[in-house]
């Protein structure tokens, strides 16, 4: 048995500083040294393992076993979702239907600033609602590049857009997990998160048009951008508070795209100088031609199938059947106990063979292959080509998740969390930072909620704050760490064919991540004091 220790160096602050070294190593190697992400991830994993053994006293065998569990989680379900989502994209490219989809989006508006709203924010939000775990970034980036966006700009737009929907992504998994680990009612945390992230939803579309076309873009397209954000945020608020956390992002994404299409200025043709300035890629043709209605239906079919399959999968009888194929077992060579004396959840491993996004996307892909009349041999070949294309992304994600698990199981993450939780009166302002840090490490708002949700509740009770508020702040702050998590950076680079440029991408999105995090910190601090009337 290994018992975690909060302050192995005698000082909580010094122990936390040392515990933060693995993540700091990865970020510095990416951003400053400019190493490739999979190399930085492996080095960070080595640093985490050394600190776990030497400083925190974790046995070498358990350290290796914990790293293996993290790598397994990185493969399944995370990369399982990404691989199958990109595989569907490759099928549509092979048959030419992706071009049909691209032209369809282009006919809604040929203005690249509006296209960023529709594809990255609304369509990406829908993909986040249904799949999550990197799929929205991958698919949105690919589509923007195909429309003519420069790869780096497409990746930045996709990463920044993947914020407001994240807390309710993958059919509400992050907030459901938060309720489970904290013991708080799902309705309570869903309602509060639904009064925080919609405020981000109002701001993010404005930032997207600013990123795409600078101040000119903001000046000329702020009306459709603001309309899109308000519609998305309003429906997300209403659904999360009065309908269902699982359906919040689906309704919000559909409302956002409908709102954009209703704004007259969004349908005006873009001026030639705007397209010339923004679209530096190869796809700069006009969208005047028409496609056959059957081809348009087939182009949308993969995503309609995903919506239908995921919706059916949430029906109670179907969900129960799918859950019955989940394999839960004790992970070998792990016996870790928290400082409180309770065994940590990492001692067990859950393998949802059917009720996981990747498997459902795989089913949608198989049906897509039939609809698009792709031969079985070609379907299998495209799946293999997808795995080959993502080989370095797979290595990065598995190494970073292995790093995260070593940090979690050895107690490094808990030490950092306890230092932040001891901030007393400043805790309300700092609580979103804890979620942000958790997502930056793991790449998952669900994982960050599992890590720090209960800690936020304990700290809130000690400091006299609302446990529901700070637990919710963990999830809302966490969504802003997605864009800087190494695995999401790698997924974006892979989708944009920018292999090895994760460090460059990190430097470009980090200011947006920190800026929006500051906004969320101020929102939570205000809700804890003079804006407490915002809370249910």
The C-alpha atoms of residue 278 and residue 492 are separated, in whole angstroms, by: 19
Can you give the pLDDT at residue 236? 97
Residues constituting the chain: 536
The DSSP call for residue 269 is P
The C-alpha atoms of residue 332 and residue 119 are separated, in whole angstroms, by: 43
Task: Kindly report whether the peptide bond that precedes residue 77 is cis, defined as omega within 30 degrees of 0.
Answer: yes
Can you give the pLDDT at residue 285? 45
Strands 2-3 and 336-337: parallel
DSSP of 147-198 = TT--HHHHHHHHHHHSSTTGGGHHHHHHHHHHHHHH---HHHHHHHHTTTHH
Can you give the pLDDT at residue 289? 60
As given in the structure block, the two tokens for residue 472 are 């919710």
The C-alpha atoms of residue 536 and residue 533 are separated, in whole angstroms, by: 8
The alpha carbon dihedral of 403, 406, 409, 414 has a sign of negative
Q: Report CA-CA distances (Å) from 229 to 156, 204, 226, 363.
A: 18, 7, 5, 32
Contact assessment for residue 485 and residue 441, using Cβ atoms and an 8 Å cutoff: yes
* Contact partners, residue 434, CB within 8 Å, separation at least 6: 417, 420, 421, 452, 455, 456, 474, 477
Can you give the pLDDT at residue 81? 76
Each residue's pLDDT, cut to its tens digit, for the chain (536 residues) gives: 999 999 999 999 999 999 989 888 887 887 778 787 788 889 999 999 999 999 999 999 999 999 999 899 888 877 787 788 778 888 998 999 988 887 787 777 888 999 999 999 999 998 888 767 677 898 889 888 878 888 999 999 999 999 999 999 877 878 987 887 787 899 999 999 999 999 999 999 999 999 999 999 999 999 999 999 999 999 999 999 998 888 899 899 999 999 999 998 887 877 777 777 777 655 444 455 678 889 999 998 988 888 788 778 878 899 899 989 999 999 999 999 988 888 987 898 888 888 877 888 899 999 999 999 999 999 999 999 989 988 887 888 788 778 888 988 999 878 887 887 778 778 899 999 989 988 887 778 877 887 688 778 878 887 889 999 999 999 999 999 999 988 789 889 988 888 788 889 999 999 999 999 999 999 999 999 988 999 88
pTM score of the predicted model: 0.79
Q: Which of 405, 409, 417 is nearest to 458 (CA)?
A: 417
CA 56 to chain centre: 30
Q: Report CA-CA distances (Å) from 246 to 76, 176, 227, 322, 471.
A: 22, 9, 24, 17, 18
b/e per residue 354-384 (b: at least 16 CB within 10 A): bbbbbbbbbbbbbbbbebbebeeeebeebbe
As given in the structure block, the two tokens for residue 462 are 């000690």
The C-alpha atoms of residue 5 and residue 155 are separated, in whole angstroms, by: 40
Contact assessment for residue 37 and residue 401, using Cβ atoms and an 8 Å cutoff: no
The C-alpha atoms of residue 433 and residue 417 are separated, in whole angstroms, by: 10
Contact assessment for residue 369 and residue 473, using Cβ atoms and an 8 Å cutoff: no
Upper half-sphere CA count for residue 507 (Cβ side, 13 Å): 10
The alpha carbon dihedral of 411, 416, 419, 424 has a sign of negative
């Amino acid at each position: 048995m290994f018992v975690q220790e909060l302050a192995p160096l005698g000082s909580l602050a010094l122990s936390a500083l040392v515990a933060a070294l693995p993540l700091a190593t990865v970020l510095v190697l990416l951003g400053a040294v400019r190493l490739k992400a999979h190399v930085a991830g492996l080095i960070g994993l080595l640093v985490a393992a050394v600190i776990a053994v030497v400083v925190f006293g974790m046995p070498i065998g358990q350290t290796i076993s914990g790293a293996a569990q993290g790598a397994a989680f990185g493969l399944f379900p995370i990369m399982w979702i990404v691989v199958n989502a990109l595989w569907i994209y490759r099928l549509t490219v092979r048959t030419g239907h992706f071009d049909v989809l691209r032209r369809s989006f282009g006919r809604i508006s040929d203005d690249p600033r509006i296209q960023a709203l529709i594809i990255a924010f609304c369509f990406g939000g829908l993909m986040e609602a249904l799949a999550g775990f990197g799929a929205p970034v991958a698919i949105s980036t690919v589509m923007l590049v195909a429309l003519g966006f420069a790869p780096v700009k497409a990746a930045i737009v996709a990463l920044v857009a993947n914020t407001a929907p994240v807390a309710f992504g993958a059919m509400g998994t992050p907030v459901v997990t938060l309720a489970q680990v904290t013991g708080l009612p799902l309705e309570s945390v869903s309602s509060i998160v639904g009064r925080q992230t919609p405020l981000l939803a109002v701001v993010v579309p404005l930032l997207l048009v600013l990123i795409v076309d600078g101040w000119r873009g903001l000046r000329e397209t702020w009306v459709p951008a603001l309309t899109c954000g308000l519609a998305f945020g309003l429906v997300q608020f209403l659904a999360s508070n009065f309908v269902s956390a699982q359906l919040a992002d689906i309704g919000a994404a559909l409302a956002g795209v409908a709102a954009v299409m209703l704004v007259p200025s969004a349908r005006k043709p873009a001026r030639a100088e705007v397209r010339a300035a923004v679209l530096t890629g190869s796809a700069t043709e006009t969208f005047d031609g028409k496609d056959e209605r059957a081809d348009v239906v087939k182009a949308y079919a993969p995503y309609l199938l995903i919506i239908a399959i995921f919706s059916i999968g949430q029906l109670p009888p179907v969900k129960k059947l799918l859950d019955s194929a989940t394999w839960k077992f004790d992970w070998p060579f792990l016996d870790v106990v928290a400082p409180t004396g309770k065994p940590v959840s990492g001692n067990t491993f859950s393998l949802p063979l059917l009720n996981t996004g990747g498997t459902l996307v795989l089913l949608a892909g198989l049906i897509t292959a039939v609809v698009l009349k792709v031969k079985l041999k070609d379907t299998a070949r495209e799946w293999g080509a997808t795995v080959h294309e993502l080989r370095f992304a797979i290595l990065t994600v598995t190494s970073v998740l292995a790093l995260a698990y070593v940090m979690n199981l050895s107690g490094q993450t808990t030490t950092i969390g306890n230092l932040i939780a001891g901030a007393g009166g400043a805790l309300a302002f700092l609580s979103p930072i804890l979620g942000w840090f958790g997502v930056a490490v793991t790449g998952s708002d669900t994982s960050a909620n599992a890590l720090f949700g209960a800690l936020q509740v304990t700290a809130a009770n000690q400091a006299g704050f609302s446990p529901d508020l700070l637990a919710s702040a963990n999830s809302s702050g966490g969504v802003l760490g997605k864009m800087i998590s190494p695995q999401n950076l790698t997924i974006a680079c892979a989708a944009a064919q920018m292999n090895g440029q994760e460090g460059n991408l990190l430097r470009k999105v980090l200011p947006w991540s920190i800026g929006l995090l500051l906004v969320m910190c101020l929102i939570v601090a205000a809700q804890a004091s003079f804006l407490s009337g915002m809370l249910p």
